[in-house]
Chains A and B, each alone.
Chain A
């Protein structure tokens, strides 16, 4: 499908892409890939038509690495995460690709095996933490249940571990929090509880879907610090999905920019901010409000495309100020700008 397949930074990619492999000398902290997604395709099937929601995603996450997926609504970031943990629901269907996790293709495993992996070795947290918690169970009940299922802990041992986990995510007075119900938690506390639940089984990979979007800025910053500390202390690999480039700048090592079901650009976080190559990435960076800035913002004209009428060629071409004829007809392949920096744009060399 692609001219250049996934360019991970860890082992096992040499046969795929020699020139990049040779140049790839500085993998981020960690080294080996925890997760590798190859050409992931997802379709939403409706009675009269179907929509390709992911049109071939390549992405990898190294151990201890935080990879950000940034994109606007409808770009497919959440569908990517749900596909990884096998929670994609109808009308969504994975139609192709591989998701390698520790030697297993997650798309091939059965429901039971997936259930064992999910929540055990891969955990996920969501945007609205209070909605993710069952309102009729106390924090302690849920946490002890998770510990029983995933670690076989019961009684006093489970309670002790639960207190430890709550303290670890920075909650004051964990014993009191154990007795609380979701409606008695603030948004920030609820998100910390969700993170504690996610950590209960010592996962290798945490998926965070807009983890701070519903929170106030001071609380958002506390959660950013917490996720950052989990990387340092537990070497926990993370995929952080957000539309907020500030969160990306604070937290991530590497960024994938998604648009209309494809990754348009992927690079280490500083490269994305210093030398974005895709016109969409450039537009996003120019369009965000910044405290250092006054005056008009450079907005991207038009709207995010309707997936039912995906434009031919490059999905960004209808809004792109640099689009030429080729952009409107042929889908651009992922090309390496430099090691670990890939872009899917026909004209990136001309525009650089």
Chain B
């Protein structure tokens, strides 16, 4: 895995927002986003709504033109390419969407939807199309009988399988999975997650897995990048990041994820309020207004994503200054064991009373 398949460096996406008659301000959807992804690997992009994770996915596919930075796929900088050249690269990278039904044209049989990229990119000859479609259907666990149905006649899980088959039609190296299971029922979600794992093993696919669900992420991802308000705030191997987070926001996400069992006790760090506006964000740490560990230094210096060791990095200024041996005790007036630091109501919340 010397040369990464995907290499994103300093990606930036700004939208101009009107404020007043002559004034425009910038809504920063993605800012200083750098990540790499190798064949056969899964990187999860984790964050809440508005964190910019989907924007990053769309910029990588060049569905949107980034405002800055570069995206290299197999060594080719795709941000520099003309639209027609991008089209030639598209088969290499495909996207699977959150709402399978909305991403499938209701007026075509699903077999035709899967055949479309095959014809468009000239991947197989006309006579071969039907056979290849059936092959793809089998690959994702659908039978030939499903080929001639319409999307609405399929269940949610089957629709998502069609979405995956369509993405695989062009033999891509990279799949961007944008919350592929969040619209599905629990039992069906497990089927799709298993399918994605199996496909990755067989085809050595690289997955950029966009999700807000840490439970699902820990099932599928080798590494994780946590996003907050357009920036990556922490990266590292999934297990390490989730069990010993180097950024307060990651800690808050982990602690807000529901328990697996009613008797499970969990460290709870609640963030105050809701995310700040992504319009004209400050140079310092964007979590400051909500962070239970924030100190004056956090608003005084610019927050940069810095490596902590060979595989992990964090944007937390306090962590960068204070940690030693990978263990960080934010200390101060903030007790960290088994108490809720602060919630919206500034109340101390006891957990479930069972036990």
Which A residues contact B (CB, under 8 angstroms)?
72-73, 170, 172, 186-189, 216-222, 224-225, 228-229, 243-247, 249-251, 269-270, 273, 283-284, 287-301, 303-304
Contacts and interface: CB of A to CB of B under 8 A. Distances in A.
Contact of B257 (A73, A269, A291): A291
A294 B186 contact: no
A90 B84 CA distance: 52
Given A170-B344, A243-B185, A289 B216 contact: yes
B156 interface: yes
A303 B142 CA distance: 13
A270 B215 contact: no
B193 A246 contact: no
Nearest to B239: A294
Interface of B: 48-49, 155-158, 185-191, 193-194, 197, 212-216, 218-219, 239, 242, 252-264, 268, 270-271, 273-274, 343-345, 347, 349, 352, 354
Contacts of A295: 219
Contact of B256 (A218, A249, A292): A218
Given A229-B349, A249-B259, 9 more contacts: A217-B48, A221-B255, A244-B258, A249-B261, A269-B262, A273-B263, A288-B190, A291-B257, A292-B260
A280 to B, nearest CB: 9
B193 A297 contact: yes
Nearest to B256: A221
B262 A270 contact: yes
Given A72-B187, A289-B213, A217 B274 contact: no
A87 B212 CA distance: 33
Contacts of A228: 352
Given A217-B212, A218-B271, A222-B270, A246 B188 contact: no
Contacts of B263: 270, 273
A160 to B, nearest CB: 20
A246 B257 contact: yes
Contacts of A303: 155, 157-158, 188
B326 to A, nearest CB: 20
7 smallest CB-CB distances across A and B, nearest first, come from A246-B258, A299-B190, A216-B48, A300-B187, A72-B185, A221-B256, A297-B190
Nearest to B156: A73
18 contacts: A218-B48, A219-B274, A221-B256, A246-B215, A249-B262, A250-B258, A251-B352, A269-B354, A283-B187, A288-B186, A289-B189, A289-B218, A289-B219, A291-B260, A293-B219, A299-B191, A300-B187, A303-B188
B257 to A, nearest CB: 6
A189 B344 CA distance: 11
A52 to B, nearest CB: 20
B344 A172 contact: yes
A216 B258 contact: no
Contact of B242 (A72, A73, A291): A291
B221 to A, nearest CB: 10
B190 A300 contact: yes
Contacts of B219: 289, 293-295, 297
Contacts of B155: 303-304
Contacts of B49: 187, 216
B321 to A, nearest CB: 25
A288 B188 CA distance: 10
A229 B253 CA distance: 21
Contacts of A299: 187-188, 190-191, 194
A214 to B, nearest CB: 9
Given A217-B256, A220-B256, A288 B273 contact: no
Of B219, B252, B258, most buried by chain A (CB within 10 Å of CB) is B258
Nearest to A185: B274
Contact of B215 (A224, A289, A301): A289
A12 B50 CA distance: 51
Given A73-B156, A289-B193, A249 B258 contact: yes
A294 B218 contact: yes
Nearest to A250: B258
B270 A218 contact: yes
